[in-house]
Amino acid sequence: MKTAMQILISELKEGLAQDEIKVSPKELLQNLIWRCEGLLEIEKEQRMEAWCSGYDSYDEDISGDSPLEYYNKTFNTKER
């Protein structure tokens, strides 16, 4: 599975490999921002899955946090 950053890098390389870019620089940046916002959700899911994988390797509950609580505390998001 690719990380969100690996997906973004791959998509940017594919875009640069095109012979001709048919959008303005502003439109290109807007599209990049839109894609990054979508990848943030993928990154969030990946981090919560990683938390679950790490949590499963311990026998006792150390923090009591759910994956979403862990994500929000660690990465200071507004979804609380």
pLDDT tens across 60-76, in order? Answer: 555 567 777 877 887 76
**CA distances (Å), 68 to each of 4, 10, 41, 51, in order?**
18, 28, 12, 9
pLDDT tens across 8-24, in order? Answer: 888 888 877 776 667 78
- Using DSSP's 3-state secondary structure scheme, residue 47 falls into helix
